[in-house]
Amino acid sequence: MTVRRDFQESARCRPDLVIGREELFADARGQLSSGGSVLLHGPAGIGKSTALRALAEEYGATARTVLRCSATESESHLPFLALADLLGLVLDEVSPRLPAAQRTALESALTGRGESSLQRDGLALRLAVLSALRALAADGPVLVVADDLQWLDPASAELLGFAARRLEGTPVQLLCAVRTEGQESQEYDRQLRACPPGTLAVRLGPLTRAQVAQLLDHRGHGGLPRSTVREIHRTSGGNPLFALELGRALADSPTPPRPGEPLPVPTSLRALVLNRLDMLSVQARRTLLVASAGARPTPALLHAAGRENAEAECAQAAELGLLATEPDAPAVRFAHPLISAALYAEAPAHERRAAHAALSTAASDPIERARHLALATTGTDPEVAARLAGAAALARDRGAPSVAAQLGLLAARHTPADGSPGPEERRLAAAEDAITAGEVDLARDIAREVLTRASVPADRVRAWIIVIDTAGHTMAEVDAVFPQALADAGDDPRLLALVHYQLAWRALIVEGDFTEARQAAAHAAELAARGQDRRTELLALAFQAQTETLMGHPEAPRTIKRALREPQDPRVAWHHNGAGSARFRWLVMGDQLAEARATVTALLREVRRHGSVESEVHFLRGLAETELRAGHCGRALDLARDSLRLARDSGIGETASAMLTSLAEASGGDVDRALALAREAVQHAEEDGDQMYLSRALGALGYAQLVAGDPAGTVRSLRRVRSLELGLGITDPARGRWHGDLAEALVRTGEAAEAQDVIDASREHALRLGRESVLAVLDRSEALVRAARGDREAAVAQLTSAQDRLGKLGYGLEEARAAFALARLRGRGSGAAAFDEAGRMFRRCRALPWLRQVEDTLAAPEPDRVPERPEAPAALEVLAAMERQVAALVMEGATNREIAARLFISVKTVEATLTRVYRKLGIRSRVDIVRLAAARRAR
């Protein structure tokens, strides 16, 4: 497959260069920085040349000499052409430094004068190239950049390989790229052997769907629906060149592809992949067209579709590289998905319909038969539409909502305008399936299209609800929809219930008003009950229950029971906004971790069976949160990362998943990544005007800052959370569990009085609601306040009690944090075993950031112990308690860092406290404190 040069663009200032390649680029940069060589390899269009140019531009600036060559297939028969590209411009510089025989052979080869050849001047030429590179290296580093090594003329390839194998010890590096079709490619092995010893081979593989979406966005094609991006990824096989060409063709096309049809393949790509198609027989080409139209073509299916010689024709195609050769595999598989798409796009419309007509009777699966029948039929046909609607329902039951959406759109297209159900009703069903599949862009586009034509109030309200649903947590952007939806609903209680349920969400997300949200949900439940819409009634009751739970409202348990009463709607039972989700939230906030885990695991299993992407993202977060509470940090981190990956891939729940993943990273992963994710979540929540998740994101940021050793940052973030939750009406401290972290950070910054105020206010609500784990964490924080005030004995007793209670409740990480605080309070001299115990507990939790804190504490120098009751000089009696403790430790010779470790405060707090001490005592330095003490004792 030859890549045309007009596809290749400058690497300068290209933000998409490292999309999906960050780790590979880091490896290549490390190798080049250390003086090594790099060989990039991978299939055509995968981005080797782009990466090569970027690396050459970056590292060429550090070399004295850069030698370049870029071979092409059409010139590969010309001997010494690549060598001339490499050395032609430096020939005059190096010729005088070569032995006569080598100089003559090299000049003859490069200039074409004389009869030089490898057969005639083999040794002299080989030595000449090696000597030339060594001569250039004597004056400074040399970088050899060679692209498309597979097209190097054999003579140049032999000479370059000979020299490369003998350049060890000289400042000559090779940066090369070669096309390979597989990890074990013979071409790759041959080229690697021709590189210097220790060359790093870097294989560029396909991009993920999310990376393809990011690439398209960077290149100006970001407006494509996610379902289309998914199809681009599938058709391109993750190849960035193919994906960009497909994206460009779709962006330029006035009409998108119809549902169920492959993407239109631009002529530029057809030429790339179909240059061998003319070598096929007419019958083999028709057989491949039938295979390209099928979902899972097999020889048996092709036979059933009338292709009698399918095996022989497929073997012919395999010999030409159009089909993959897999003897043990029953399926007929194209060598690349793009070949199938290009073949289909190349075929005339009547031939495509004929292929689908043959498959509509040959396929065994009813969904496939219905799809092929639709694509073989033109115009409306009620029988075809009914079969497609039935196939959509079957796909929905199988947990394939994306397929159901495509079939639903096909059904709508073949439904007559006066049909029952009508085309608009079927389009709306397809839009709802698209939402379930996470294809919110497609759903929104369908709903908007319906609104331009529909006049039936039920259809219009249903379309408005889809528009609101697809806005997610950016509901402020669709504020204008609500008055129109209410107007279309009229006085119909069923339709009004739908709108008021969405108004409840708006009150929570946009206004941040839990009281209004609860009232709107209760009103929606009443309207739905009056209109006998059990599904909406259950959703409204579940929402009311969740709101009451977060508010700490006494009605929450009763509302949950109402939401769980029979009859239940199966679509609500497993939904992320259903009663099961509300019950899970109640359990996890009420310290019933084992039951919460079982509940959310069952819900996650069910939503995966139904293919509901948004619910899967939601319950992955719920399970990750439960594991985090239980101290299973490694498991929680894996689940959180899965949730974030799926959220970013679908565009659903990204803020919430980033927030939860930040908590998991800070507990069991990378603290810097935790900080970055928390700040991302805060930014998105602020941009979306999402008050509910802004407080959660700030809570995650405060926790990450605490783990990172930035208590002042923690105080700033969590003070904002406290203010926000007071405004929102959230009183249950089990909702965000930030209260203990804020109190601990306040102690570390020397603000023990405010810390105690936070503890007292939070304890009142925790006692009212019976939040035992919250009470234990608050006791742990209060022990730190007591330690900071000098009451060590009471602090030790309170920490010991808190640790024991947290362990019994199953909060492994919080238990380990209490053990660590206890070890620090006792110090290494009297409690070395306590540090070992804390380390063991953090290790059991896989809480790596906390384990590193234990190790850092043990590695720090141990300050001298302060006497239990130091005799403070009278002059120090004017100081506050914290100031006296700091001054007393200064008298013992402790450094600021040692004082911070002993008193659980930051170094900055120590410095600020000392400044106040100097001002009160009228002195200038810590030396003066020691002098005051000495003078007092001398009397």
Report the pLDDT value the prediction gives residue 10, as an integer from 0 to 100: 41
Q: How many CB atoms lie within 10 A of CB 261?
A: 17
pTM higher than 0.75 = no
Q: 329-338, 560-569, 920-929: which range is least confident on average?
A: 920-929
Return the percentage of the chain with pLDDT > 90, whole number: 47
Contact 837/823 with Cβ under 8 angstroms?
yes
pLDDT category, 829, cuts 50, 70, 90?
low
In the block, which residue shows the tokens 């940069």? 29
Reported confidence tier of residue 934, pLDDT bands at 50, 70, 90 = low
pLDDT for 19 equals 77
Cβ-in-10-Å burial (0-12, 13-18, 19+) of 595 comes to middle
Mean pLDDT of 711-736: 91
Q: How many residues does the chain have?
A: 939
d(CA 502, CA 521): 9
Q: Give SS3 for 178.
A: strand
pLDDT digits (tens, 9 = 90+) for 746-768: 999 889 999 999 999 999 999 99
pLDDT value of residue 342:
84
- Whole-Å CA distances, 87 to 36, 94, 95, 118, 433: 21, 9, 10, 17, 62
Tell me: pLDDT of 935 over 70. no
What are the φ and ψ backbone dihedral angles of 631, each rounded to 5 degrees? 85, 15
User: What is the arithmetic mean of pLDDT over 636-658?
Assistant: 91
Residue 4 has pLDDT above 70, yes or no: no
pLDDT, tens digit, 9 for 90 and up, residues 432-471? 999 998 888 889 999 999 999 999 999 999 999 999 999 8
The torsion angle over the Cα atoms of residues 205, 208, 214 and 219, rounded to 10 degrees, is 50
Rounded Cα distance, 382 and 371, in Å: 15
Nearest residue to 205 (alpha-carbon basis) of 359, 80, 51: 51
In the DSSP assignment, the letter for residue 508 is: I
Q: Is it the case that residue 327 has pLDDT exceeding 60?
A: no
> What span, in angstroms and rounded, lies between the C-alpha atoms of 27 and 501?
52
Q: Can you list the pairs that 263-270 forms with residues at least 24 positions away whose Cβ atoms lie under 8 Å?
A: 263/228, 263/231, 263/232, 263/235, 263/341, 263/345, 264/345, 265/235, 265/338, 265/341, 265/342, 265/344, 265/345, 265/346, 268/4, 268/7, 269/242, 269/245, 269/338, 269/342, 270/342, 270/345, 270/346
**Residues 532, 169: Cα–Cα separation, whole Å:** 84
Name the CA dihedral angle for 868, 870, 871, 876, rounded to a multiple of 10 degrees. -140
Question: Mean pLDDT of all residues in the chain?
Answer: 86
Looking at residue 814, its amino acid is E
> b/e for 662-690, b at 16 or more Cβ within 10 A?
bbbbbbbbebeebbebbbbbbebbeebbb
CB 259 within 8 A of CB 409: yes
Q: Which of 711, 704, 701 is nearest to 907 (CA)?
A: 711
Q: Which residues contact 301 (CB under 8 A, 6 or more apart)?
A: 294, 359, 362, 363
pLDDT for the residue 867: 40
Our measurement of the distance from residue 884's CA atom to the centroid of its chain's CA atoms, rounded to an integer in Å, reads 50
| Distance from C-alpha of 345 to C-alpha of 340, rounded to nearest angstrom | 9
Candidate ranges 192-206, 246-260, 834-848; pick with highest mean pLDDT:
834-848
Which tokens go with 102? 């080598």
Query: Omega before 567 cis (within 30°)?
Result: yes
Dihedral (CA of 447, 453, 458, 459) sign = negative
Q: If you average pLDDT over each of 546-550, 587-591, 935-939, which comes out highest?
A: 587-591
- The structure tokens 């609860």 sit at 518
pLDDT in tens, 238-286: 888 888 888 888 877 767 776 666 777 887 777 767 777 778 888 999 9
403 or 913, higher pLDDT: 403
Report pLDDT for 850.
96
347: helix, strand or coil: coil
CA-based R_g, the chain, Å: 35
DSSP string, 569-631: PHHHHTSTTSHHHHHHHHHHHTT-HHHHHHHHHHHHHHHHHHT-HHHHHHHHHHHHHHHHHTT
What pLDDT was estimated at residue 197? 85
Give me the mean pLDDT over the 334-361 stretch.
89
Per-residue pLDDT, 933:
63
pLDDT at position 218 is 83
Q: Which pLDDT belongs to residue 8? A: 40
**Which residue would you say has higher pLDDT here, 112 or 228?**
228
Higher pLDDT, 675 or 897: 675
Mean per-residue pLDDT, 222-226: 75
pLDDT tens sequence across 42-61: 888 888 888 888 898 888 88
- Read off the pLDDT of each residue in 871-891 and give the average, rounded to a whole number: 68
Residues linked to residue 67 through DSSP beta bridges, in sequence order:
144
- The candidate with the shortest Cα–Cα distance to 514, out of 474, 552, 457, 487, is 552
- What is the per-residue pLDDT for 870? 40
Banded model confidence at residue 558, pLDDT cuts 50, 70, 90:
very high
Q: Rounded to the nearest 5°, which phi and psi values hold at 80?
A: 70, 10
Which ranges of 654-738 does DSSP label H, i.e. alpha helix?
A: 654-668, 671-688, 691-707, 711-728
Which residues does 775 contact at the CB level (< 8 Å), separation at least 6? 763, 766, 767, 805
Answer yes or no: is pLDDT of 932 > 70.
Answer: no
pLDDT for 188 equals: 63
Residue 387's pLDDT is what?
94
The DSSP secondary-structure symbol of 182 reads S
Q: Helix or strand or coil: residue 41? A: strand
